[in-house]
Amino acid sequence: MKLATIRTADGVTRAVRVEGDTFLDAGATDVGALLADPAWSSRTFDVPVDAAGFAPVVPHPGKIICVGLNYRNHILEMGHELPRFPTLFAKYSEALVGAYDEISLPPESDAVDWEAELAIVVGRTVRRASASEAADAIAGFAVLNDVTMRDWQYRTPMWLQGKTWEASTPFGPYLVTPDELPGGVRPSLTLTGRVDGEIVQQADTADLVFDPVALVRYISTILTLKPGDVIASGTPGGVGHARKPARYLTGGSVLTTEITHLGRSEVKAEAC
């Protein structure tokens, strides 16, 4: 199943099931609200809806938990050792934009970097999950880019201040359920990031140190995960900050993030 949150011509959002070029109303304002219904996967979708654009897949998740240093090649390019435990930080919903919206380049930062990522969307309430419970709690996966203000990230040892700038994080366009993906809840997917058409990141999700099931298990030990919560699973090598010389997004840059079977986002960076 492929789900999305669309914007309509009336200026509201609707959760839809995507069938080719057709959007079928899912009976909820957005995908997060849809997932709050325990019977969401068995709903009937039969009323077409006209879309005026894509909103973030889940516009207002209760939690966005992000994972740093989770691809082996990125860990090595940043000069770190492989971690024993996931490195976690948070992001807030104000950071999210739709898959084809603009992202804001704040005047306070001169080091806006890209981080193409696989997002995990939670579909049921879970705490201290076993492996099987964690797998069952995964509603699906989506494209995300954890755009990062590196100069702010490294002001202190805590990363949050570089990670959750408003209107910085494209999320979507679709949520795809595990049954449609090779590998299911541990999907085998190719992730590609481009800047102005040039490939800057490319990796297979098999390079993840902590896979989606492991992340749900670990995070749910700390706090209760609920439907619509989002886990950004980390980025592979190829970020601009690790290049010699470093390279960052500038006004007019086009940032494309694509994951096989999940679609792609394409956003333009604009000064705000």
Q: How many angstroms separate the CA atoms of 258 and 67, rounded?
A: 19
Q: What is the pLDDT of residue 156?
A: 95
44 — pLDDT class (breaks 50, 70, 90): confident
| 156 CB-near residues (< 8 Å, 6+ apart) | none
Per-residue pLDDT tens for 232-256? 999 999 999 999 999 999 999 999 9
Q: Is 31 exposed, middle or buried (0-12, 13-18, 19+ CB in 10 A)?
A: buried
pLDDT reading at 76 higher than 90: no
- 8 Å CB contact between 72 and 110: no
Q: What is the pLDDT of residue 120?
A: 98
Q: What is the pLDDT of residue 257?
A: 98
Homologous superfamily in CATH for domain 58-271? Fumarylacetoacetase-like, C-terminal domain (3.90.850.10)
pLDDT > 70: what percent of the chain? 100
pLDDT reading at 77 higher than 80: no
Distance of alpha carbon 100 from the chain centroid: 14
Q: How many angstroms separate the CA atoms of 254 and 105, rounded?
A: 12
pLDDT reading at 164 higher than 90: yes
Nearest to 152 by CA among 110, 192, 119, 201: 110
Compute the average pLDDT of residues 208-225. 97
Q: What is the dihedral of CA 260, 237, 169, 120, to 10 degrees?
A: 50
pLDDT reading at 80 higher than 90: no
